[in-house]
Amino acid sequence: MTKRRAVIAGGGIGGIACGLALARKGWEVEVLEQAPELKEVGAGIQVSPNGMAMLDRLGVTPMIEGTLFEPEAIELRLGRSGRRIFRLPMKGYAQARWGNRFIQIHRADLHDALAQALRAQPSAQLRTNAKITGYVRERGGASVYLERGDRVFGDVLIGADGVRSEIRQQICGADRARFTGNVAWRAVVPVDALGDNAPPPFGVIWAGRGKHAVTTRVKGGTHVNFVGIVEQDSWTEEGWSIPGRIEDALADFGEWQPCLRAVLEASSGLFRWALYGRPPLAKWCDGPVTLLGDAAHPMLPSMAQGAVMALEDAVVLAEVLDQDSDCVRALQTYEAQRKPRVTKIQQRSAANASMFHRHTGLAQLATYGPMAVASRLSVGAIHRQQDWIYSFDAGA
């Protein structure tokens, strides 16, 4: 029997993971990435136990052992006073409760490992400088058009081309991604450059009025990763890598804990960009064409689940395509399986951002007071709220 063939638009974490999952099932795969070289921008990400379960299934975990960092705990603190609201033990605990580790890693290290694993698959091909301009449905599949003029056919076409997806526009109609009213700062700084002023060596969410920050460790614990999310009325520039000015970053976070100021001042490359999103889509599929990752369900990063959901999508999609010789039906199954979970997580992510950004002292007290009490009475109370997310093994 001839191998079935998948064309994947986009070589981000979602597209590469999907290509790898399908190639491991014996599919012929072609991943088409618009950038001239395969490169992840951005900073650190957290991969929760449900994401680690997917990396295990893709055989990638051993490839990131040297660069991941497993934090002792995740804490929620107030950004100005540093006061701790709760502490969730993670190291050891996550494995015991949810069956896998909770880790922090630089996106580039995760992306490199996925790409290396994909390149090692004889039936997979990864093409850069391959910007897709649209697709056409054909007998037995779909073809994409590339800006450079070629046409590439697959039994299925998977749009993993991010929040501004071309494939999504064609499936669902043209609309612009919506500015969420939040901009993000990012910086990565060697721990050695911070002396006694390094943020704690675990994950901390620093909450404040109209903004929050997250500090984690990446590159095996040798670097501090800073992400700051700030509410803002409007935004006009495009892209992820817009250099930010230190004075603007300090205007946002300079009055917070000294360790946050220290990270911003020590950073040699501060970046600032806008967070875009869109409401849940009515449909993901058009016959043999579907969507995956941010193309299907962009979300605010406040639950640290965007890339993890893309990994889950990838594993589920490969599984259903492997089990059903009717590709169109398999894509419908995939959408039906994935949509309720990712929609709930999209909604919770928006709610979390607002929970970290309480605008008045009274609202902070009303929100964080009960959390502080609950976590002191029983740490399990807060852990339990994560069970439906972290215990889930999408490939089971």
Point out which residues bind ligand FAD (CB under 6 A). Answer: 9-15, 32-35, 45-46, 130-132, 160-162, 166, 184, 227, 275, 293-295, 301, 304-308, 310
Indicate the DSSP class of residue 2: P
- For residues 83 and 178, which CB has a smaller minimum distance to ligand FAD in the complex? 178
Shortest approach of ligand FAD to residue 146 CB, angstroms? 8
Strand partners, 154: 142
Helices (H), 297-326: 306-323
- For residues 227 and 353, which CB has a smaller minimum distance to ligand FAD in the complex? 227
Shortest approach of ligand FAD to residue 216 CB, angstroms? 8
- For residues 79 and 293, which CB has a smaller minimum distance to ligand FAD in the complex? 293
Give Dmax (Cα) for the chain. Answer: 66
What is the rounded CA–CA span in Å between residue 70 and residue 11? 26
For residue 85, how many other CB atoms are within 10 A of its CB? 17
- For residues 126 and 327, which CB has a smaller minimum distance to ligand FAD in the complex? 126
DSSP per-residue string spanning 255-268: TS-HHHHHHHHH-S
How are beta strands 28-32 and 5-9 bridged, if at all?
parallel
What is the rounded CA–CA span in Å between residue 370 and residue 372? 5
Shortest approach of ligand FAD to residue 302 CB, angstroms? 9
Shortest approach of ligand FAD to residue 227 CB, angstroms? 5
- For residues 6 and 324, which CB has a smaller minimum distance to ligand FAD in the complex? 6
- For residues 244 and 293, which CB has a smaller minimum distance to ligand FAD in the complex? 293
- For residues 37 and 196, which CB has a smaller minimum distance to ligand FAD in the complex? 37
What is the rounded CA–CA span in Å between residue 290 and residue 296? 9
Helices and strands (H, E) in the chain, number of each type: 13, 18
Torsion, CA 33, CA 39, CA 41, CA 45, rounded to 10: 100
- For residues 151 and 329, which CB has a smaller minimum distance to ligand FAD in the complex? 151
What is the rounded CA–CA span in Å between residue 234 and residue 276? 11
* Burial category of 62 from C-beta neighbours within 10 Å (exposed 0-12, middle 13-18, buried 19 and up): exposed
Shortest approach of ligand FAD to residue 36 CB, angstroms? 10
Shortest approach of ligand FAD to residue 326 CB, angstroms? 26
Shortest approach of ligand FAD to residue 181 CB, angstroms? 14
Shortest approach of ligand FAD to residue 17 CB, angstroms? 8
Residue for token digits 């997580």? 345
Segment holding 244, helix H or strand E: none
